[in-house]
């Protein structure tokens, strides 16, 4: 990853160079302020005042130039409008074509202006975050709120591109009208096809989407998936993504995600009854459910390494192993073998290809739709989580074919075995392995400089404005200041082991992984012991447990929509993070059975509070994690997705083991004994969050 200062300089439109934010100067000023405060020659309040004035001047320079360019575009559009009106009286195809070309030229000028706004917006965000990090002062909040809400705000021009909407509308509408107009002059022998959208209009719309808040929910969901990407990838990388992308392969990847989550949770309502039918205690369901997670701890690593070489072969292997594992799970009933039951679940865990699913989206989906694909990954997981228990509730039938028994306990295994077999056939004939040598064959040629520049304008606008890694910024910018190429090269290398990946984690990232561990532990306790607890206290049937778990799963998407579209715009992520942790703690406390008789409303309400709060916490926590984790962890085998997956999987393993061990004390003690570790870990994570919030942010 190249330092932002170098990227800004390399990607500036040369004739507009004097009007960009002077990022290099402001970075030097931040260092000077730090030195002056350290030696005592300058007070903090003077630093804040001087830095605010400097930012105001930089923004004013950008905005005045932006207004000037908007005026020029408006003038060009007014002249084109006059020509357009004349042509409506006496239309000629040659003049229509010429007029369309004129609007296209204005469209490309507009793209240049949008790119100008984007680069400056990124520069402002970066310098504000650098200032906050250097002085441990929340200056960004004060500056943005005080400037953005003022009636004479210039900051709105940069972050919300006020005024450009009219220009965008004029270009889009007129090009569409001219397309229709030209279509009416086609020969009668030409096919009567609908007019196509002009490419420049598509580029403009994509650029506008990147600069508005219209994609807040998708962005939130994408970060929930923890699929990290660089902030301003080179145009060549976008070309690589386009060549690797295959829509059906992406669908197959998401289908794998969905089926695996269904496979994980379809046995939860019946695992206790299955264990008892094989002569074990009901609480052995913890081991049965957790066996899949135990195997996933190891499978995540080898699948992540395998995805460096292929995507098709790991997915085929995953499907075969899951088919075998589910068949073994179903056959355990007729064989009366608890060992076969556990081996079947272990096989299912060894087929966990979630590392491949994440990696495929990160590597093979074009940037312009990667956010939607990432949101699709999260949605597929949530839908699978809800469908699993719901499907188990439906499979309440009992019959035999020869010596094979099909009942509520074995049908989940048989249904999933058939599902994976069908998926394997679809995968075999439809999946397209992305090219691995495409990078080597796509070096830009000098003769294509004009095309490359146009592609940069069209495609560069679609990249996210989020900061991917504060740690990486520091490494890269220090390398730029020192002129050290070796440091820059080192900062681009991915981690080569779990230990080296762990060393890249900052204290804040470690705290966020602890939070992720905590929420996965609490959720697994709630879900895995639900059948045992509700049967003991309320005598719920399997169908009732399945409905309860399905309802919990169905809350995932609505909660993420509310948080991603509304709450995240009203509060800071760190505030939502702490509030969610506290609500998880409240849910755990309300779940305890003390003195008064345990009731259905208490269990349902406390479970809902805990689950919904944990879902909010997961989304916000991974959103923060994707921004502060080193970009060296965005690629390679030992990436950030693998680390988060391992943290969550280990939490599930420990939670399921806790349920089984607590079962030795009797079902009457199961609820309180398993909730105690959840409460302890939750309190520790809240304390760690408060400490990290105060010391680092």
CA 359 vs CA 133, 304, 417, 619, 641: distances in Å: 31, 8, 25, 19, 8
How far apart are alpha carbons 227 and 468 in whole angstroms? Answer: 11
Number of domains the chain contains: 2
Q: Are residues 270 and 169 in the same domain?
A: no
Q: What pLDDT score does 459 carry?
A: 40
Residue 292 within a domain: yes
- For residues 383 and 249, membership in a common domain is answered with yes
DSSP tag of 567: I
Q: Are residues 216 and 251 in the same domain?
A: no
278 and 167 share one domain: no
Q: Looking at the structure, tell me whether residues 38 and 81 fall in a common domain.
A: yes
Instruction: Report pLDDT for 582.
Output: 94
Q: Which residue, among 536, 265, 287, 528, has the nearest Cα to 392 in the 3D structure?
A: 265
* 90 belongs to a structural domain: yes
Mean pLDDT of the chain: 77
Task: Establish if 229 belongs to a structural domain.
Answer: no
**Domain final residue pick, 222, 255, 287:** 222
**For the chain, how long is the longest CA-to-CA vector?**
92
- 567: confidence class by pLDDT, cuts 50, 70, 90: confident
CATH number of the domain enclosing 77: 1.20.1050
Query: For position 595, which CATH number holds?
Result: 1.20.1250.20
pLDDT tens-digit series, residues 253-307: 999 999 999 999 999 999 999 999 999 888 888 899 989 989 988 888 888 889 8
Q: Is residue 114, in this structure, part of any structural domain at all? A: yes
Same-domain pairing of 290 and 164: no
Q: What is the CB-side half-sphere exposure of residue 193 using CA atoms within 13 A?
A: 6
Would residue 521 count as lying in a domain? yes
Of 418, 332, 388, 363, nearest in space to 636 by CA: 363
Min mean pLDDT across 137-146, 476-485, 531-540, 587-596 is at 476-485
Identify whether residues 69 and 167 lie together within a single domain.
yes
Which tops the pLDDT comparison, 80 or 456?
Answer: 80
Residue 446: pLDDT above 50? no
For residues 86 and 137, membership in a common domain is answered with: yes
| Tokens coding 569 | 């715009």
Cα separation, 433 vs 316, in Å, equals: 12
The answer on 115 and 5 residing in a single domain is yes
Residues in the chain: 697
Q: Which domain holds residue 378?
A: 245-431+501-690
- Residue 587 confidence class, pLDDT cut points 50, 70, 90: very high
Is-contact 311 366, C-beta < 8 A? Answer: no
Please give the average per-residue pLDDT across 590-611, as a whole number.
Answer: 92
Q: Please tell me which of 178-182, 351-355, 469-473 the model is most confident about, judged by mean pLDDT.
A: 351-355
Mark whether 204 and 287 lie in a shared domain: no
In-domain check, residue 492 = no
Contact criterion met (CB below 8 Å) for 344 and 409: no
Distance of CA 59 to the CA centre of its chain: 31
> For a pLDDT cut of 90, what percent of the chain falls above it?
29
- 361-386 in b/e burial notation, b at 16+ Cβ within 10 A? bbbbbbbbbbbbbbbbbbbbbbbbbb
Verify that 173 and 209 share a domain, yes or no.
yes
Query: Which of 184, 202, 200 has the alpha carbon at shortest distance from 192?
Result: 184
Same domain, 316 and 420: yes
Q: Is the pTM of this model over 0.75?
A: no
Establish if 227 belongs to a structural domain.
Answer: no
How high is the pLDDT of residue 460? 39
| Range scoring the smallest mean pLDDT among 207-216, 346-355, 487-496, 601-610 | 207-216
Summarize the confidence of residues 361-368 as an average pLDDT.
78
455 in a domain, yes or no? no
């Amino acid at each position: 990853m190249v330092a932002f200062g170098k990227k800004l300089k390399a990607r500036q439109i040369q004739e507009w160079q004097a009007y960009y934010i002077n990022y290099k100067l402001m970075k030097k000023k931040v260092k000077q302020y730090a030195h002056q405060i350290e030696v005592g020659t300058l007070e903090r309040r003077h630093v804040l005042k001087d830095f605010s004035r400097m930012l105001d001047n930089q923004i004013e320079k950008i905005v005045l130039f932006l207004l000037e360019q908007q005026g020029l575009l408006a003038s060009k559009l007014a002249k084109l409008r006059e020509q357009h009106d004349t042509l409506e009286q006496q239309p000629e195809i040659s003049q229509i074509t010429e007029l369309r070309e004129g609007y296209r030229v204005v469209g490309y000028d507009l793209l240049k202006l949008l790119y100008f706004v984007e680069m400056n917006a990124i520069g402002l965000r970066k310098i504000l975050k650098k200032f906050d990090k250097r002085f441990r002062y929340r200056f960004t909040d004060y500056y943005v709120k005080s400037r953005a809400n003022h009636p004479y705000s210039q900051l709105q021009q940069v972050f919300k591109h006020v005024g450009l909407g009219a220009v965008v509308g004029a270009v889009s509408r007129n090009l569409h009208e001219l397309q229709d107009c030209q279509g009416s002059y086609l020969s009668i022998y030409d096919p009567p096809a609908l007019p196509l959208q002009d490419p420049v209009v598509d580029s403009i719309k994509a650029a506008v989407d990147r600069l508005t808040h219209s994609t807040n929910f998708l962005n939130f969901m994408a970060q929930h998936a923890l699929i990290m990407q660089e902030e301003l990838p080179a145009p060549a990388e976008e070309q690589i993504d386009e060549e690797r992308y295959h829509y059906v392969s992406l669908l197959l990847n998401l289908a794998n995600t969905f089926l695996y989550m269904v496979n994980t949770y379809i046995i939860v309502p019946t695992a206790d009854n299955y264990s008892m039918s094989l002569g074990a205690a009901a609480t052995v369901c913890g081991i049965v459910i957790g066996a899949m997670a135990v195997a996933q701890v190891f499978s995540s690593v080898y699948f992540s390494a395998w995805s460096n070489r292929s995507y098709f072969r790991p997915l085929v292997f995953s499907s075969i192993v899951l088919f075998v594992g589910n068949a073994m799970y179903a056959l355990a009933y007729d064989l009366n073998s608890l060992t076969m039951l556990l081996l079947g679940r272990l096989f299912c865990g060894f087929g966990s290809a979630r590392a491949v699913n994440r990696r495929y989206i990160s590597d093979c989906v074009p940037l312009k739709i990667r956010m939607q694909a990432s949101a699709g990954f999260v949605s597929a997981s949530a839908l699978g989580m809800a469908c699993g228990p719901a499907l188990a509730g439906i499979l309440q039938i009992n019959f035999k074919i020869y010596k094979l028994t099909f009942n509520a306990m074995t049908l989940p295994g048989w249904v999933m075995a058939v599902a994976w077999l069908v998926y394997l056939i679809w995968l075999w004939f439809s999946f397209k392995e992305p090219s691995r040598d495409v990078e080597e064959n796509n070096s830009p040629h000098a003769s294509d400089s004009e095309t490359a520049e146009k592609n940069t304008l069209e495609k560069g606008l679609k990249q996210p404005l989020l900061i991917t890694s504060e740690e990486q910024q520091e490494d890269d910018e220090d390398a730029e200041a020192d002129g050290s190429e070796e440091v820059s090269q080192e900062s681009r290398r991915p981690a080569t082991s779990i230990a080296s990946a762990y060393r890249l984690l900052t204290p804040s990232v470690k705290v966020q992984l602890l939070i992720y561990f905590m929420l996965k532990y609490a959720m697994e306790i709630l879900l895995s012991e639900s059948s045992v607890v509700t049967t003991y206290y309320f005598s719920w049937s399997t169908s009732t447990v399945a409905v309860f778990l399905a309802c919990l799963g169905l809350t995932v998407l609505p909660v993420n929509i509310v948080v991603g579209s509304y709450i995240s715009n009203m509060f800071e992520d760190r505030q939502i993070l702490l509030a969610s942790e506290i609500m998880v703690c409240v849910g755990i406390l309300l779940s305890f059975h003390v003195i008064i008789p345990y009731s259905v409303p208490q269990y349902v309400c406390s479970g809902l509070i805990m689950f919904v709060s944990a879902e909010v916490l997961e989304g916000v926590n991974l959103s923060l994690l994707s921004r502060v984790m080193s970009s060296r962890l965005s690629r390679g085998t030992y990436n950030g997705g693998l680390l988060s997956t391992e943290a969550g999987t280990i939490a599930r393993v420990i939670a399921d083991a806790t349920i089984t061990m607590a079962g030795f004390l009797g079902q009457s003690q199961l609820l309180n004994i398993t909730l105690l570790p959840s409460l302890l870990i939750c309190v520790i994570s809240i304390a760690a969050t408060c400490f990290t919030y105060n010391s680092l942010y």
